Chains A and B, each alone.
Chain A
């Protein structure tokens, strides 16, 4: 799919799914689109439906109620789709790892391609992640 990915890398459309986070990563994702960081200069756009997206950003610990829904929207996405996990919650569970309502392994719900750790990650870290993703897609 090399030729396809190269075309994809020119303009990644992003869908943002929050799987029980504390909101902060979500706010920082929105912050990326506003004038200070302005990800749209790299061709990246936030879209309202997973069916338009090339990249799915997930945040949070995936509680037991939302995990099936996250799986469902991943299945609805046109493939190939790249899943970027924003925040420490997805990678390690952060301070919620003792909770009764956490999905033990987030990787079993949906395959995750990239992790951006941090609570919340700085916008610069997220921009670097996106730049790396574009680099990988370009081959």
Chain B
């Protein structure tokens, strides 16, 4: 039978971002999937090389609006790695507090959207209703609902004073009650179970083969979590569990995220308690960044985010490389979408919580009048590495 192709995108009702999927179908079954990205590319790595280190942190905050503190945390880790800068204890707790609150709001956002994608708008409204208090907590901590601007090299921008702590505790108590309720309801919901169980299975072998990270891999039984494997900030000072489930279907991905919300609340509570007793400043004064290179890792809500920064002793990076979690999670569609009906394909596409704004770090320009292979990415990358090497070694 001849296979048909169904184009989806770049503007479609499923996701709020623009991306293009091409589903090859045989009858109702998806045989193959291809996708085209590049609609969201804004050239962060290039702009970052024109900005100072402090400005870069604000820039990477705007890579993605949902994980808008994961990128800055990874970025400051990378800059601190160059000089082995120590950060104060109080700043470590505040960093982890903001990071975990972001995980709660991101997972709730996904939970709501997942409900919306399967036509279960009650779940959408419900999850997003309880996402609001989390944003309020951000407003108390930083003054902003989104794009918090809290991270600095050597600490955090603002302290959390005792009056704020009382307010935050009240909000967290309320969120915890509601989250326990939502977790129980989502796990017992017959609609979610019948719609998501056994759908879009990503086996453990595939999860390893595609190098998936974050909840996508943890739902397939691959126990990677940067927070526990390589603890930074306050993660070695608090106690929490690693959530790993074996089946790899969309339902397990949902349950992993719901359970992670509960764990995140635990971490937030411990951070708030420790902030009551931990004293001292929140920002070490860092005057100069010496020449060298540094890497920073952080477990973003979608998985491991990786930043590489090279400094030549001036006040701006000469190379800033970003690898976002969705970059490795998105290709796993190839494995998980094969052989499922079209109706299930869309929730499977959404199940890795894809973020195209995070992913699109490079752009291939093709001169249509000439040979299309004149500008290959690998060649460009090698030329740039050579250029940087010459700059550093001065020959």
Contact = CB atoms under 8 A, between A and B. Distances in A.
Q: Number of contact residues on A: which range applies?
A: 35 or more
Contacts of A96: 42-43, 47, 62
Interface stretch (B33-41, B169-177, B313-321): B33-41
Contacts of A27: 16, 65-66, 109, 146
A101 interface: yes
Nearest to A61: B42
Contacts of A60: 40
B147 interface: yes
Given A27-B16, A35-B125, A101 B43 contact: yes
13 contacts: A19-B18, A22-B68, A35-B125, A35-B128, A36-B128, A48-B13, A49-B13, A61-B42, A63-B42, A66-B40, A96-B43, A99-B43, A119-B147
Contacts of A34: 112, 124-125, 128-129, 131-132
Contact of A63 (B40, B47, B65): B40
A-B pairs, 8 with minimum CB distance: A24-B65, A48-B13, A34-B128, A23-B65, A26-B16, A99-B43, A35-B129, A22-B65
B38 A120 contact: no
B63 interface: yes
A31 interface: yes
Contacts of A23: 16-17, 64-66, 355, 357
Main secondary structure of the interface of B (DSSP, over half): loop
B363 interface: yes
B40 A20 contact: yes
B128 A24 contact: no
A42 B40 CA distance: 31
Interface in B110-130: 112, 124-125, 128-129
Interface in A36-53: 36, 48-50
A105 interface: no
A50 B38 CA distance: 22
A25 B112 CA distance: 17
Given A23-B65, A35-B129, A50-B11, A95 B58 contact: yes
A117 B38 CA distance: 25
B16 A63 contact: no
A120 B146 CA distance: 7
A110 to B, nearest CB: 14
Given A26-B16, A34-B128, A65 B146 contact: no
B346 interface: no
B58 A122 contact: no
Interface of A: 16-31, 34-36, 48-50, 60-61, 63, 65-66, 69, 73, 94-96, 98-102, 119-120, 122
Contacts of B109: 27
A22 B128 CA distance: 20
B377 interface: no
Contact of A94 (B13, B16, B62): B62
A25 B65 contact: yes
Given A23-B64, A50-B11, A63 B39 contact: yes
A30 B15 CA distance: 11
Contact of A22 (B18, B64, B124): B64
A94 B125 CA distance: 31
A36 B128 CA distance: 9
Interface in B8-28: 10-13, 16-18
A25 B125 CA distance: 18
A55 B217 CA distance: 40
Nearest to A87: B65
Contacts of A21: 40, 65, 357
A63 B41 contact: yes
B50 interface: yes
Q: Output the residue of B18, B124, B131 with the most chain A CB within 10 A.
A: B18
Given A18-B16, A35-B125, A69-B11, A101 B363 contact: yes
A125 to B, nearest CB: 11
Contacts of B357: 20-23
B197 interface: no
Given A34-B124, A35-B125, A24 B146 contact: yes
B59 interface: yes
B17 A98 contact: no
